[in-house]
């Protein structure tokens, strides 16, 4: 069995999820006729304490539609350099939304410095784009932003009359880690985008929740972007199943990430402290090519680089983690042995 640690998006829908999908009642969602989609949107809105929800094929499109709902052409969003919306969505907000991003450096803990955010808000002057929105991300690079920090971001936005969007692709990882319901954790955001296809394990789908007026705008934009689908209750059923069964168990992914981090640190590797389901390991440059080959040969799938990211998810259990650690150990033990042999032969 392969152990795929590239991302929590690689999960296979299990038998129960497939059964839920097979028996989903469906209708044409362009007409608003799909009862399963409607139910998912209601459940998600309810869970987040928001007025409305809208189902999207992907998180990228949900984020884009949200940003476009907040910002008109020539308006601006303040966003982190490391944020998915800025760095990993092909510049969609600029290309398709005519929105100007104002990126700021994320601090090592994933937050933006709020003094920098405030300083980046443009005065009302014809030289400048119109600052409209602050967008943050939780979790970001596997790190959890606290409720206190997010409340400070929301308070700043309110004080300066800006909107706030949360890219909560993995917000349930934060919620489980903090032991705080998403309703509490996300209170005050205008929109929150929540991926169902990451740790929650569905084949596809993201739900955008937020204020009714913004969700209504996002519905029109989704249509424009080509993201409105027909009998898509089949996917929404997977989403409902995931919200009902796969949220609390994220704690297992976090425990497995911790187990993996401990195992790799014991090999002498430099491992960042783990907060949720991501482990970042420094791989000596001279080892990356060899490690990649060794992992491939032994059935561990990973995107090997000097800053290796390993992600736990519902298709890897503790036993798989132990096997993965053993496979890493075999590589580094032999590397050390050959290094020592080299060292000996030099001396």
Would you tell me which residues interact with ligand PLP (CB under 6 A)? 58-60, 63, 84, 137, 167, 169, 195, 197, 206
- The least distance separating ligand PLP from the CB of residue 290, rounded to whole angstroms, comes to 29
* Residue number with CB closer to ligand PLP (204 or 283): 204
- The least distance separating ligand PLP from the CB of residue 124, rounded to whole angstroms, comes to 31
- The least distance separating ligand PLP from the CB of residue 84, rounded to whole angstroms, comes to 3
Rounded to whole angstroms, the Cα distance separating 203 from 15 reads 13
DSSP letters along 90-114, please? TTHHHHTT-PEEEEEPPPTTSPPPH
- The least distance separating ligand PLP from the CB of residue 200, rounded to whole angstroms, comes to 12
* Residue number with CB closer to ligand PLP (169 or 235): 169
Rounded to whole angstroms, the Cα distance separating 93 from 165 reads 13
Q: Which residue has the tokens 């009359």?
A: 161
Q: Which residue has the tokens 């989903």?
A: 24
- The least distance separating ligand PLP from the CB of residue 216, rounded to whole angstroms, comes to 22
* Residue number with CB closer to ligand PLP (206 or 276): 206
What DSSP element (H or E) covers 175? helix 171-178
- The least distance separating ligand PLP from the CB of residue 196, rounded to whole angstroms, comes to 9
Rounded to whole angstroms, the Cα distance separating 94 from 13 reads 34
Rounded to whole angstroms, the Cα distance separating 57 from 70 reads 20
Rounded to whole angstroms, the Cα distance separating 74 from 72 reads 6
**Considering only CA atoms, which of 62, 49, 262 is closest in space to residue 175?**
49
Q: How far apart are the first and last CA of the chain?
A: 43
Q: Which residue is nearest to ligand PLP (CB)?
A: 59
Rounded to whole angstroms, the Cα distance separating 273 from 237 reads 36
- The least distance separating ligand PLP from the CB of residue 206, rounded to whole angstroms, comes to 6
């Amino acid at each position: 069995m392969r152990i795929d640690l590239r991302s929590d998006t690689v999960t296979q829908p299990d038998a129960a999820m497939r059964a839920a999908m097979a028996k989903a009642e469906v209708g044409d969602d362009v007409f608003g006729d799909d009862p399963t989609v409607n139910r998912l949107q209601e459940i998600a809105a309810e869970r987040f304490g928001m007025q409305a929800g809208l189902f999207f094929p992907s998180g990228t499109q949900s984020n884009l539609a949200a940003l476009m709902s907040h910002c008109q052409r020539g308006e601006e969003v303040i966003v982190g350099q490391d944020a998915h919306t800025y760095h990993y969505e092909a510049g969609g907000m600029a290309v398709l939304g005519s929105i100007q991003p104002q990126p700021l450096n994320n601090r090592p803990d994933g937050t933006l410095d709020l003094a920098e955010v405030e300083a980046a808000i443009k005065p009302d002057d014809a030289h400048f784009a119109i600052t409209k929105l602050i967008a943050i991300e939780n979790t970001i690079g596997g790190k959890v932003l606290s409720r206190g920090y997010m409340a400070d971001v929301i308070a700043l936005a309110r004080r300066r009359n800006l909107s706030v969007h949360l890219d909560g692709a993995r917000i349930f990882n934060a919620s489980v880690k903090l032991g705080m319901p998403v309703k509490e954790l996300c209170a005050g955001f205008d929109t929150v985008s929540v991926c169902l296809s990451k740790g929650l394990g569905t084949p596809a789908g993201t739900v955008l929740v937020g204020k009714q007026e913004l969700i209504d705008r996002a519905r029109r934009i989704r249509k424009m972007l080509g993201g409105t689908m027909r009998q898509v209750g089949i996917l929404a059923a997977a989403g409902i199943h995931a919200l009902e069964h796969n949220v609390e168990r994220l704690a297992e992914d976090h425990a497995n990430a911790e187990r993996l981090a401990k195992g790799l640190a014991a090999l002498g590797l430099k491992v960042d402290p783990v907060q949720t389901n991501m482990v970042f390991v420094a791989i000596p440059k001279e080892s990356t090519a060899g490690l990649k080959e060794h992992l491939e040969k032994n059935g561990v799938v990973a995107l090997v680089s000097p800053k290796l990211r390993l992600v736990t998810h519902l298709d890897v259990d503790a036993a798989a983690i132990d096997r993965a650690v053993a496979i890493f150990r075999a590589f580094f033990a032999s590397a050390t042995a050959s290094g020592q042999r080299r060292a000996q032969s030099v001396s």
